[in-house]
Every structure is written in C-alpha cells, then in structure tokens.
C-alpha cells in the first residue's frame, strides 16, 4: 500500500461534491468509514490494533507493554467542509513511514505506534482535541460526557453506545515515550523558502468562548425599530468589535459559527448563540483582547436592551514543543526551518501533559486550511514521509 494508494482510498470518504469539502464528524458515517480504513491498514501490516476508552485508534508495531513508545499520527475527523489534508496527512504518512522503515529491514528497539485521535476538531461536540484531552486527563470525564452536538445528543451517550467509557488513561499515557505529529502546514510559512518540510516550534495560546445574546422575538413588519430588543444587532456589533480588538491587540479572533432562533426571515430573533475562537502568540495579549471583546459586547447589549453572556468552553495556554527534540529533529532534517503555528493539535495537548512532542509541517502551496482549498503536492507529501521515517528511525533505533 503506497502513500498514493492509501490517499486514493481515503479521498472519497465524507467528501461533499457540492463544495469539494469534507464532513467527517466523530462517530458519524464518514468518520466510521475512516476508522474502518485505519483498521484495515493496521491489519494489512500485521500491526496490533487497539481502540482506547476514548475512541482513539492505535496500531502497534512491537509490544506496547514494553513502553517508551515512539508514537506518530494525527486525526481523521474534519471541520465542516474541511480540506483533505488536515489530520489524514499525518495518519497516512505514519503508515507510509512504517512501510519505508520496514522495506529497509529496520528493527525498532522501542515500540512504534500509529495513532488517530478522536474529535480533534471539536466539530461535533465543540471542544477541540477531545480524545487526547480525555486520554491525558486534561478534561474531566463528567464535563466531556455532558457536551452535546447540534442535535442535542450527548457525547457520553454517543460514546457509550459505541462501546467506549471516556476518561483518563494514565496507563496508556505512560507508554508514550515521544509523540511526533506530521501535519499539513496551515499558513504560508513554507511557500517562499524553497523547503517542503518544517519542524514545529510552539502552538499559540488559544480558546473558544460561547456568546449568548438574548432578546425578544417580534414581527419584522409591525415592530417599530425603537421597540425592538434585537440580539442580532448586538451579535453583529460583537463581530466588528472582535475584528477591531484583535487587530489592535496582536491577536486573531473569529466568529465562524452561529445559531439564530427562531431563524425566521420575518421575525426579530429571540436568541443568537455564536462562538468566538481567539488566539495570539502571547497569552497576555489573548486575555486582554478577549476581555476587550467582552466589554464591548456588554456595552452594546446595554444599549440594545438585550442580554449578553460569555462563557469559556475550552482554553489552551502557551504550548512550546520540547526544545531539545525540536533542535535535534531540525538538525536531522537538513536544518529544517522551525515554524510556530496558530492552529491547535493533539500534539499540543500531549506536550502540555509532559510528553516530549514534536511536529513536522508539510508545505501547503495555497496557504489555506479548514477549507477545500487546503493542499499539498504529492512530491512534498512523499518528502514528508521520508522526513517522518528519518525521525522514527532516529528515535526508535
């Protein structure tokens, strides 16, 4: 099974022709098909398949009980209408790197595992990296169980039905000696420097906040403007405030998801729920910008006579990767460039939990991600596989 064959097999799964984007949501039909694909790839190679209590997949080369494992992988779920590469590139490359090492007759002295973490994007249940957070004990089982999807279905119920019992798994965590995640680059860092692979430096602090705007439903034709309590107005002002405060505060802020109730063309809405995603290279800047957005929204709500509340749903602070490992891998990979990123990853969760962690980024000529335009050329992907194999060989020898 070459990289190209694996890529071709996975390509149609969960792809929507109308947009060209992927909709692979945790334990939905397309994501289950991705899981079946993972199991088949593990079986073809005689790797031992394990699905942990949180639904994360593991394919072991060598005996997991030996511990100090070299783990590599990524995730198979997507954002709504996401690209083909975010997640799957790391998993496919991991299997391909194992193949490359085996074709050389390499015998690892530490177990190697290929992994795919569950609900990395948080597209279904709202919290990103949920599978790795649960594994590491970075979110409580109770909080996770109560998360709901757009249809109001509880994470706890979906997982129980699938035979999982989410929660921390210290025994499995203790087996991870090092984690390497290869990922498509999600910006323009490699485009102009003539290099196809970079090493990750750090993940920016980032978080998600739910914003609840409440008002009064009323008739769109008969309600005088001055009599309205329109939460859409407060929401709209918040979008503008988020943009302005982020620009002033060395941060990025995005409102990309909202639910409007009752969502009728000819009614003033009663409620708007929106989600703010904010990130910054510096944690102090992030806190300041989020506080400014909250202040501006509360002020506007007072003017609009609407209700406004903001709650933090997830937060990840400063996440540097292991500096010794980073420098070692950059040197090994022919002085690879070292890039920071504003994107979140399971690698970040594991790094915060104390696992020595590194990331490899593969050039993305569009610089676009979380969109069907996300891309990597096959020759660059193959360079990524060689780089990952070099890293695994170095670490597992």
Residue 99 binding target from ligand GLV, Mn ion, none, CB below 5 to 8 Å by type? none
Give the residue with the Cβ less far from Mn ion, 41 or 86.
86
Residue placing its CB nearer to ligand GLV in the complex, 88 or 231: 88
- Cβ closer to ligand GLV: 279 or 300? 279
Assess 86 for contact with Mn ion (CB under 5 A).
yes
Handedness of CA 4, 333, 64, 110 (dihedral sign): positive
Minimum distance between the CB of residue 7 and ligand GLV, rounded to whole angstroms? 20
Q: Which does 344 bind (CB under 5 to 8 A by kind): ligand GLV, Mn ion, none?
A: ligand GLV
Tokens found for residue 283: 């944690």
Out of Mn ion, ligand GLV, none, what residue 168 binds, judged by CB under 5 to 8 A for its kind, is none
- C-alpha torsion sign, points 36, 41, 46, 52: negative
Rounded distance between C-alpha atoms, residue 103 and residue 339, angstroms? 31
Q: Binding to Mn ion by residue 380, rule CB under 5 A? A: no
- Closest CB to ligand GLV among 54 and 316? 316
Whether the Cβ atoms of residue 10 and residue 88 lie closer than 8 Å to each other: yes
Residue 140 DSSP label: -
- Quick check: 33 and 141 in contact, CB under 8 A? no
Shortest CB 382 distance to ligand GLV, Å:
24
**CB within 8 Å of 107: residues ≥ 6 apart:** none
**Alpha-helical segments (H) within the chain:** 3-10, 29-44, 88-103, 130-136, 141-145, 155-161, 170-175, 231-248, 283-304, 323-332, 346-352, 378-396
Cβ-based nearer residue to ligand GLV, 90 or 344? 344
Residue among 384, 383, 373, 325 nearest 21 (CA): 373
As a residue count, the chain comes to 397
Which range touches Mn ion (CB under 5 A), out of 82-90, 234-242, 279-287, 305-313?
Answer: 82-90
Binding mask 87-116 for Mn ion (x = CB under 5 A): x-----------------------------
Query: For Mn ion, which is the closer residue by CB, 62 or 87?
Result: 87
CB under 8 Å to 330, separation ≥6 — which residues? Answer: 199, 336, 337, 338
Which residue's CB is nearer to Mn ion, number 42 or number 184?
A: 184
Question: Whose CB is nearest to Mn ion?
Answer: 86
Q: Which does 87 bind (CB under 5 to 8 A by kind): Mn ion, ligand GLV, none?
A: Mn ion
Residues that bind Mn ion (rule: CB under 5 A) add up to a total of 2
Q: For ligand GLV, which is the closer residue by CB, 91 or 232?
A: 91
Specify the 3-state DSSP secondary structure of 18: coil
- Element of type H or E holding 126: none
- What minimum distance in Å lies between the beta carbon of 90 and Mn ion? 7
Binding site partner of 346, from Mn ion, ligand GLV, none, Cβ cut-off 5-8 A by kind? none
Distance CA 310, CA 306 (A): 13
- What is the smallest separation between the CB atom of 138 and ligand GLV, expressed in angstroms? 15
- DSSP conformational letter for 26: T
Q: Which does 47 bind (CB under 5 to 8 A by kind): Mn ion, ligand GLV, none?
A: none
Per CB under 6 A, residues contacting ligand GLV are 121, 128, 343-344
- Rounded distance, CA 123 to CA 269, Å? 25
- Residue 128 binds: one of ligand GLV, Mn ion, none (C-beta under 5 to 8 A by kind): ligand GLV
- Cα separation of 123 and 150, whole Å? 10
Q: How far is the CB of 390 from Mn ion (least distance, A)?
A: 22
Tokens standing for 203?
């993940």
Binding residues for Mn ion (CB under 5 A): 86-87
């Amino acid at each position: 099974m070459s990289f190209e064959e694996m890529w071709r097999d996975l390509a149609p799964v969960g792809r929507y022709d109308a947009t060209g984007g992927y909709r692979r949501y945790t334990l939905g039909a397309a994501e289950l098909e991705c899981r079946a694909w993972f199991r088949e790839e593990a079986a073809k190679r005689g790797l031992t398949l394990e699905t942990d209590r949180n639904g994360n997949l593991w394919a072991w080369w060598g005996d997991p009980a030996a511990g100090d494992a070299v783990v590599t992988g990524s995730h198979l779920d997507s954002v709504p209408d996401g690209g083909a590469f975010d997640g799957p590139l790391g998993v496919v490359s991991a299997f391909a790197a194992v193949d490359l090492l085996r074709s050389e007759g390499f015998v690892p002295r530490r177990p190697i595992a290929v992994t795919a973490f569950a609900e990395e994007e948080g597209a279904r249940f709202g919290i990103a990296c949920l599978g790795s957070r649960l594994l590491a004990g970075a979110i409580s089982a109770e909080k996770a169980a109560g998360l709901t999807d757009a249809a109001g279905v509880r994470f706890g119920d979906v997982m129980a039905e699938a035979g999982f019992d989410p929660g921390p798994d210290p025994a499995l965590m203790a087996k991870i000696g090092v984690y390497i995640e290869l990922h498509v680059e999600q910006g323009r860092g490699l485009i102009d420097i003539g290099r196809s692979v970079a090493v990750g430096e750090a993940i920016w602090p980032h978080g998600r906040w739910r914003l609840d705007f409440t008002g009064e439903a009323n008739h769109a034709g008969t309600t005088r403007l001055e009599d309205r309590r329109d939460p859409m107005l407060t929401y709209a002002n918040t979008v503008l405030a988020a943009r302005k405060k982020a620009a002033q505060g060395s941060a990025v802020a995005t409102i990309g998801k909202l639910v409007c109730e009752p969502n009728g063309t000819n009614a003033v809405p009663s409620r708007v729920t929106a989600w703010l995603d904010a990130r910054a290279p510096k944690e102090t800047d992030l806190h300041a910008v989020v506080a400014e957005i909250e202040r501006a929204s509360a002020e506007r709500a007072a003017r609009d006579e609407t209700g406004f509340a903001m709650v933090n749903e997830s937060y990840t602070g400063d996440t540097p990767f292991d500096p010794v490992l980073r420098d070692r891998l950059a040197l090994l990979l022919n002085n690879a460039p070292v890039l920071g990123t504003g994107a979140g990853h399971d690698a970040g969760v594991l790094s915060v939990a104390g696992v020595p962690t590194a990331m490899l980024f593969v050039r993305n000529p569009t610089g676009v991600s979380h969109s069907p335009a996300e891309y990597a050329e096959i020759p660059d992907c193959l360079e990524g596989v060689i780089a990952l194999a070099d890293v695994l060989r170095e670490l597992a020898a």
